[in-house]
Amino acid sequence: MSTQEVSADVTLELITLTIDGFEVTVPKGTLVIRAAEKLGIQIPRFCDHPLLDPVGACRQCLVDIEINGRKFPKPQASCTIPVETGMVVNTQLTSNVAEKAQKGIMEFLLVNHPLDCPVCDKGGECPLQNQAMSNGNGESRFDGYKRTFEKPIKISAQVLLDRERCILCARCTRFSEEIAGDPFITLNDRGALQQVGIYEEKPFDSYFSGNTIQICPVGALTGASYRFRARPFDLVSTPSACEHCASGCDMRTDVRRGKTLRRLAGDDSQVNEEWNCDKGRWAFKYATANNRIKTPMIRGADGELHEASWPEALATAAAGLSVNRAAVLVGGRATVEDAYGYSKFARVALNTNDIDFRSRVHTDEERDFLTSAIVGVQVNYSAIDRADHLVLIGFEPEDESPIVFLRAYKQVRKRGLKVTTIAPFTTRGSKKLNAQVIKSAAGNESQLISKISGLTSKSVILVGERLCESYGALSAALKLAQTSGAKLAWIPRRAGERGAIEAGAIGTLLPGGRPVSDVAARVDIQSAWGVKSIPENIGRTTSEILVGLQSGDIDSLLVGGVDPLDISADALVGLEKAFVVSLEMRHSSITEIANVILPIAAVVEKSGSFLDWEGRARAFETAVDVPDLRSDVRILSMIAEKMGKPINLPTVAAAANEFASLGNWDGARAPFIAASGTAISGDTILASWRLLLDAGSLQDGEVNLANTAHPSVAVISTDRAEKLGVKSGDPVRVSNSRGEITLPCEIKDIESNSVWVPRNSHTSKTIATLGIASGASVSVVKA
Amino acid sequence: MSKLTPVLSANWDEKDSFTIAGYKRNGGYKAVEKALAMEPDAVIQSVKDSGLRGRGGAGFPTGMKWGFIPQGDNKEHYFVVNADESEPGTCKDTPLMMANPHVLIEGIIIGSYAIRANHAFIYIRGEVAHVIRRVQQAIEDAYKAGYLGKNILGKGFDLELILHVGAGAYICGEETALLDSLEGFRGQPRLRPPFPAIAGLYARPTIVNNVETVASVPSIIANGPEWFAAIGTEKSKGYTLYSLSGHVNNPGQFEAPLGITLRELLELAGGIRNGHKLKFWTPGGSSTPLFTDAHLDTPLDYEGVSAAGSMLGTKALQIFDETTCIVRAVLRWTEFYKHESCGKCTPCREGTWWLVQILKDLEHGKGTAEDLDKLLDLCDNIMGRSFCALADGAASPIISSIRYFKDEYLQHLAIGGCPFDSVASTIFATSPAGGAK
């Protein structure tokens, strides 16, 4: 597929060669081993990996080659030799020399490999085991002694290494260097005692470390969480998609007897290639956490929650939502189908446009930006592949959308893609991307965006979801894109946000990007849904809904998957007054005040799809079937029925089909009214974002993962450090009138008027503690 | 008349041969004056015309190699000298640098000028501390005398020469591993192409030459390529250093025309140690297939040795007399290769690990005749299957020793141990027949 994609852009020189008597034509530069694959000829290999640079280390793929009648004197590693016109290749299938060479190498590989397949995690899905069977001698002639090592050693909290199993193919070390840009593991020593190792002072704290386990062709690298838990042949695998962010990773969920044991990166050359981040790989235990809700609950007259039957709970919810003026808050983690359910439920069952998926800091400028410039627009990863200049604004890809980071890093490494970022300081990610950093205090981005020049129609601007916190910045970014012709994409953090926009889970939009304000758009939906009318007014935003709840304007609320503390420190206050129906997975501050709680299925327990930041659908199937746990849309359909205002979405498939049948709006978009930002001032302005690994509730229950989180630090400038009399590592206290956060400081190139802290780590929760996310004044003192 | 043609070693017997004064007294640094007055391409052409071939083992034509460096590419070029002499038996560069470091430096200046490099490096083996100090001093003296640094001899040519001390890995003698090591990485061979002439040190066009090769250049420039080409044989031109070691009465360096025979060299070296006779020998270090007394008259040039089934290599002639156990000698070499295998590729890393175990058993008379077939088969699976030539070198002595001395291997098995008195082969042997002198 990637070949086709490339060929659309440039004309490729094709080369015809002969492999095992068959002619094959491939693009110039193709390696012999891949050309053979095209013919269905499998040459055994270990170090070779299509996404890593050729290395030719394991020598397993030796074949006989002649070019224009001249034979190479020795068999050649087919993973390092590009095809040439007139090349004649004879693999193990047609050359005795190649076959003997391969069998010889296989025998050597097994010299120092233990025969512990029966207790090895890899047994059953092991390239060494498989290829030893297919391309090895039945028996080894080796009867000497093997090298032994202490086993296992911890490369990180998550990755364990059994050195005696390692065949030294260097896939893991090459991945870390070439793909992740985190060369924290390397080969040490030499000869048969060569081994993968870490530098003690620099642990393997890569967000992508789990991939090394997945590409290890033997059982040398294992995950601490999965080690010894299962044999591959006992697992049932289900294609899946990642729910943790908007990168859109294709995934695979492996289940043994109803229990999720591991998740692996799936193979999608257009999205995550074959990689994923450690959060996507390992954060799945939240679904089996102790506080999981499995039965419906109703708050009784005594003020306490009581377990209830489904009919009883549905009836109570329906009654509570029927008699009142209601609104809907749906968190950013809903699937497209669920978001569509909420969207339709609000309009049909509650007769309101008061719905918003943004359970986080948000602005009206952002809503208008999404409504006018993002909904229905597709910008793909391939745009990064072809970009002449990548501009990141309010977006730290390694933390906030890791695959975007990997794809950008690949281009930086392969062809020196120019990257510019507007950020408070030079992060590790910016360094790896060799980015030009335009330093900005949080809130002042709009002033700097207008100064970026030299963009072309091949340039790509990526704005982060949190850029909305900087007033006028989205407007400035949109203007930059419009004046330069550059592509503009918005990258939310949560997996469901893009889908929620398309599904109309926001007050300005109906499904398919139809503006609420457009009568034709409303008629479209009315007729599709078979309803007499759709409310005409623009719906309230999340914060307006909270105000409405507080003032009594709104008195009941349907809420799905929202953590009030992601919105603001005071969000709960309004909620307490209202009748709250909560569709939730686990107990939280919402369920503490909810009147009715309806349990829902986690991602592995249901089917559905997300739209990633590109707008690309990422469908997934049910991996673990739990009879009483349903996707939100199914429950919403049942409530609507009880209310006598059916939405007729009894299954996820029904919702998906109906949403697809609506199609996209092809009429005019709501015009965007630009907001212009003014420079904020102050001598200590807070900047923050969420680290990839932090206190997010979907990471609960996975202690090994948590142990590789980057440490929480307060980033301050040299000037400030001098003024405070602190050195790196000394504690500082960041505070305002609401509260204080104390963290070790790290001195970086941040501007003197800024301080950065993690937004939601275990020791630094800005919204809960300080009541702010970024762009506001705080004070910093030596603690 | 002596067959010796001392050029590099001509003044080694002078007390100050290693000093700049001693070197200049004997005509040193005249060639560089001549070279800097020539066009760089003319220098390359002279080296091409001389027929000089690499003295580090492979015998690649030096002038042709220099000609591979792209010109006018606006890139930095580097000239690197491989002084990581580490192979068992090979001991020519170390005494050369010890006794006459300035001839190397002069060669480096000429070579760097020819390929338009302004930075040159000597990558020297870490263990030879005394040589390192001497070369370092020579470089300092050359700087002081204006042969290195800015505007050399007022001709507008700049050259910085850096001495880099390796950490004692045999693999770093492989040119791409050397470059990795020089860049600060662990020395492991690189994938080729790209070859160093296109992307070598820091991915810039780079020449890597052996010490002796570079040291031969000043004489070519000074005396003309015809002079050099007149020495030696048709395809192997010039003089070279033959290093005789082991069971000979006068071991050492013998500088002679390419194509000389061992018989002639043994005469120069005072013959096999008294009372003994030649059993086997290496023509070019431990990685070249063994020869026996049947090869005494094989011309020791690139073609002659190759035709006889071995390689001229580094012309390190290790001489073993009849007191030496072939199994023991081969095992020692194999242990060396196992120890020095970098670990990058499977056949070398695992193969040498295995070979040592089999040979150890054989030395102690354990195993069966089939083990010899197994050894040969393993060598066949190693030879030409590995990433670089190190493993080929490991297999060579095994294959050739079984070819010539299979009976001796079998004898070990027959008596359940080694039939040799291991002391008899040593220099401190006390038997009437023993003792070198």
Q: Catalogue all structural domains in chain B, each as residue range(s) with its CATH number.
A: 20-229 (3.40.50.11540), 239-321 (3.10.20.600), 326-419 (1.20.1440.230)
Beta strands in A189-235, from DSSP E residues, in sequence order: 195-198, 221-223
Find the mean pLDDT for residues A36-65: 97
Q: Of A12-16, B85-89, B427-431, which gets the smallest average pLDDT?
A: B427-431
Chain A interface, best mutation among B349, B356, B380, B392, by max A CB count within 10 A? B349
**Residue linked to tokens 């011309």:** B299
pLDDT bucket at A5, cuts 50 / 70 / 90: very low
Tens digits of residue pLDDT in A444-473: 999 999 889 999 999 999 999 999 999 999
Residue A6 has pLDDT above 50, yes or no: no
Q: Residue A108 is nearest to which of B169, B344, B347, comparing CB atoms?
A: B347
Q: State the architecture of A295-359+496-660 in CATH terms.
A: 3-Layer(aba) Sandwich (3.40)
Q: Is residue A52 very low, low, confident or very high in pLDDT (cuts 50, 70, 90)? A: very high
CB A604 within 8 A of CB A284: yes
Give the span between the Cα atoms of A424 and A147, in whole angstroms: 50
- Whether residue A109 and residue B343 make contact (CB cut-off 8 A), yes or no, is no
> pLDDT at residue A534 above 60?
yes
Tokens of A210: 């789990």
Q: What is the CA radius of gyration of chain A?
A: 28
Identify the three-state secondary structure at position A254: strand
Question: In the prediction, which pLDDT does B430 show?
Answer: 64
Q: With respect to CATH, is domain A683-780 assigned 3.40.50.1970?
A: no
Say whether pLDDT at A680 is over 90.
Answer: no
**For residue A7, what pLDDT band results from cuts at 50, 70 and 90?**
very low
Domain ranges within chain A, ordered by starting residue:
12-106, 115-129+139-286, 295-359+496-660, 365-491, 683-780
How far, in Å, CA of A602 to CA of A116, rounded?
37
Q: What is the pLDDT of residues B243-265, one digit of tens each?
A: 999 999 999 999 999 999 999 99
Q: What is the CA angle B186-B187-B188, rounded to 5?
A: 110
Structure token digits, residue A69? 């009648």
Closest in A56, A57, A190 to B341, CB measured: A190
Report how far residue A205's alpha carbon sits from residue A689's, in angstroms, rounded to the nearest whole number.
Answer: 19
The architecture CATH gives domain A115-129+139-286? 2-Layer Sandwich (3.30)
Residue B344: its chain A contacts at CB < 8 A?
57, 168, 194
Q: What is the mean pLDDT of chain A?
A: 95
* Lowest model confidence (mean pLDDT) among A8-12, A325-329, A346-350, B397-401: A8-12
> Does residue B433 have a pLDDT over 80?
no
| Calpha distance A498→A89 (Å, rounded) | 49
Which phi and psi angles does A470 have, rounded to 5°? -105, 105
**DSSP letters spanning A734-779:** EE-SS-EEEEEEEE-S--TTEEEEESEETTEEHHHHHS--SSSB-E
Position B412 pLDDT exceeds 90 = yes
Pairing of β A731-735 and β A514-515: unpaired
Single out the residue of B371, B367, B366 nearest to residue B417, CA to CA. B366
Whole-angstrom distance, CA of residue A397 vs CA of residue A383: 16
Q: Which CATH number fits domain A365-491: 2.40.50.140, 3.40.228.10, 3.40.1180.10, 3.30.420.40?
A: 3.40.228.10
Would you call B354 and A55 a contact, using CB atoms and an 8 Å cutoff? no
Element (H, E) at A551: helix A542-551
**Cα separations in angstroms, A163 against A193, A608, B146, B343, B377:** 9, 41, 54, 14, 28
Residues of B in contact with A75 (CB under 8 A): 384-385
B398 Cβ neighbours under 8 A, 6+ residues apart: B330, B334, B355, B359, B375, B376, B379
Q: Which residue of A has its CA nearest to B356?
A: A144
Task: Note the pLDDT tens digit of each residue in B175-224.
Answer: 999 999 999 999 999 999 999 999 999 999 999 999 999 999 999 999 99
| CA dist., res. A395 & res. A421, Å (int) | 8
Residue pair A659/A337 in contact (Cβ under 8 Å)? The answer is yes
Task: Pick the residue from chain B with its C-alpha nearest to A188.
Answer: B186
pLDDT range class, residue B429, cuts 50, 70, 90: confident
List Cβ neighbours of A713 (8 Å cut-off, separation of 6 or more). A743, A744, A745, A746, A757, A758
Do residues A659 and A528 make contact, with C-beta atoms less than 8 angstroms apart? no
Query: What confidence tier does A9 reach under pLDDT thresholds 50, 70, 90?
Result: low
The pTM for the full model equals 0.94
Q: What is the domain class of A12-106 according to CATH?
A: alpha beta
Distance CA A436, CA A419 (A): 6
Mean pLDDT of A106-132: 96
Confidence of residue A577 (pLDDT cuts 50, 70, 90): confident
| CA-to-CA dists, residue B229 to A304, A556, A717, B238, B304, angstroms | 104, 101, 69, 6, 17
Percent of chain B with pLDDT over 70: 98
Predicted pLDDT of residue B427: 81
Q: What is the mean pLDDT of residues A663-680?
A: 87
Predicted confidence (pLDDT) at residue A1 exceeds the cutoff of 60: no
Which residues of B are less than 8 Å from A187 in CB distance?
186, 343
Note if the bond before A239 is cis, omega within 30 degrees. Answer: no
Beta strands in B231-379 (DSSP E): 239-246, 252-257, 278-282, 291-292, 316-321
